[in-house]
Amino acid sequence: MMENEVKTIKNKNLPNQLTMARIFAIPVFIIVLMMGFRVTATIIFIAAALTDMLDGKIARKYNLVTNFGKLMDPLADKLLTMSAFICFVGLGDVPAWMVIVILGREFIITGMRQVAAAEGIVIAAGWSGKIKTVCQMVAIPLIMLNNWPFTLLPVVIPMDQIALWAALVMTIWSGAEYIIKNKEVFSMKNKA
């Protein structure tokens, strides 16, 4: 990359702009999905999910990691995936209890991270949490596309349901792992 391009990336903080683009895409995604335009919604979702991979790589490569990015990047991811799952309940694609489990895990872990952060402790994302996110990011497009392209096979493989159940299992697994590894967060006393 040329020096001027690097300066432009640094001056405009491209990773933060990508994170904001993902956040602004969420209401568009919801409207399009709820109107029944599933292919368009899938394209929007995949594009938004790809910005998540891009912003982190760019931020690390060009030393553009900011407090804004540390806060907003994971929040944008959660807003995107949770929006999809909540819409799926409304559309009858996913049982409400599954979404409650997934949402519950996200609220618990986010709360733990906030309490720890207030004490100056960083709870880093573990591999199980990353696998959970990948499972969700795979399940969501498959659910939106009604299991396409697997419906084209001679024997239909319900990959949408397999990915959904994998996401649920990893949600529970990673949530339990975070709680066990960071149980001291629950016993922190307020210094005020």
What pLDDT was estimated at residue 156?
84
The answer on 83 and 110 residing in a single domain is no
Q: How many helices (H) and strands (E) does the chain have?
A: 7, 0
Q: Which H/E stretch holds residue 176? A: helix 159-181
Check whether residue 110 and residue 52 sit in a common domain.
no
Would you state the pLDDT for residue 69? 83
Closest C-alpha to 81, from 30, 34, 12: 30
The structure's pTM equals 0.85
Report the C-alpha gap between 21 and 15 in whole angstroms. Answer: 10
* Residue of 84, 103, 87 whose CA lies nearest to 141: 84
For helices 96-118 and 67-91, give the axis angle rounded to 10 degrees: 160
Residue 4's domain spans which residues? 1-93
Sequence-distant (≥ 6) Cβ neighbours of residue 123 within 8 angstroms: 109, 112, 113, 116, 117, 178, 182, 185
Of the three residues 93, 125, 147, the one that is the final residue of a domain is 93
Final residue of a structural domain among 93, 119, 138 = 93
pLDDT at 121: 80
Q: What is the mean pLDDT of each run of 10 residues along the chain (192 residues)?
A: 56 85 96 98 96 86 84 88 97 97 93 83 82 93 94 89 96 94 76 50
Overall number of domains in the chain: 2
Residue 92: predicted pLDDT = 97
My answer on whether 38 and 57 are in the same domain is yes
Q: Answer with the one of 34, 63, 93 that is the final residue of a domain.
A: 93
3-state secondary structure of 98: helix
- Do 98 and 189 belong to one domain? yes
